[in-house]
Chains A and B, each alone.
Chain A
């Protein structure tokens, strides 16, 4: 997508000078002075080491956390003013362990938000079938299974399908592929990248994996110790001259001594 066009689009999510402190103690800031706008339809990747505040930013978007200072706007309304239940039903959420409900079948997991939204059974069943197909799982084989009968990769696919169930305009993803083996991870990253382009959702994606960020992002935001240190497209990012950027780019290097 053309970046100029994206910038002129309506901004779906906006952080205005946001800080978040534990128990409102400024000395215990997790994120400080974050100003950031996420445009409609872009995939924004929050990149950073563990503890850099990525997950906190994500949780500020769906109101699981409320800012200590500043405000977070979702569709031009502060998360303080949103009915949080309504807000969250319009935002898909995928986490590392998928967090599937172990006592529900795959179909019940995916159909949860539709059932909360009182969709009728037929409409939900059709939607579950569509979504399973979309994430590459055969509905007739997987709909009736329980999460314990799935591999890690399949669970993550169901997690993505569940997040998309009620067709939310926004998708939040917290290291969704982080716990997978490298081969499965690469496979899911490729598929998700294609899926994201096709769906046109506004996606905020948290990762500590630069390779993943470069593959998926329309824009990368680099965080260090709770502050934004760089914002760039994947092409620009690699050319940035900042110590934390170099720390990440050097992590891409192939170990020396191994023949190419």
Chain B
């Protein structure tokens, strides 16, 4: 209502042009057509800005969008199927192809494990050894597996924690941990080593024990197969973590293992394994079986169609287009199968090359090892000969031996070399020092004198650093000793036996 002309004139005087703008806005709100046009100008920017600000728009629109889509799909399903076809078609084909490949692979594996020569050989091994077929198959397909993890208190040799892998066999771990510690001490005690040196690897057949010495605890892994280099790094890292987290309980350990609750979570990552990658051979057996099934299926369809073709001739004539489509789909599938086979062949070639390289490296290593073993054994034989040829003269009726005598020092040096070489050749030497006398004097006196000479020489050699357990002392006059062992001389002789 604009009122009388006077009032209108008064408003113009008071508000001027702004009053006209207000009137225009009012009209815009009152007429939906104009208001919609106005909102349409800004709605996209407004939605975009709000979506950037928070999720309220998505939350508000979701039920409406869902309802709308449901309604649209129910009312026009074919249209949606047409729209989705380019996306869903390849996805479904890919999924079916993958499932088919996996099926082929598993059928092939099953056939191989049932009928192949290798499978029968494994079964024979299992029968011979009394182990299960699964265990034998595991042993042949395994690169390595950490079977057991020991955490041992360094001072006492007591077991703090023990983990064992599934299917691995573990004998009494408390006793094993004690023996591991004892063997460490035995080796350290028996051979001249630095005080910081520790025995960090034991190997027997395809079993390796990796040992990591921390200040308060020893961590040991029993590994079947060939342990990779990174396993040692992992072991070191875990040992450090244990010492970091449990330093105080380890330091003040009094036999109470309950203070190490939760330590298994630190040790568990050590239980690793790796299997031989399966050689990607073409699954001939499965493919042949599949081809047979397909041929059977095709014949059944053919027979069925042929039977019906005479009765349903008019219908068959009406459907040539569908048959053409089926043929095209079959061709597409064949094309994809060919492509998949080509990719698999390429992967096979790469794997074959890698395998050949590895085999060559292994062969070189074995040749080098053989050469080294032969050289060690030759050197060992030379040293044995040298030691057995050496002697030490005594003064008449005396058995004194001076450990500082250059001859003794030289013999000590020879024995040390012999021990080192024997260790490399995986042999254990036993050196017998045989005391001799000349024919002067009575048998009783001579026997005592010979024993003293041998014993004194043994003591002198021990003082030069030779471990006591490798040396044995005896007189040449011993009962049962061969006559050739007795030399008519005031000396000692050495006899070396290798085990």
A and B are partners in one complex rather than unrelated chains: no
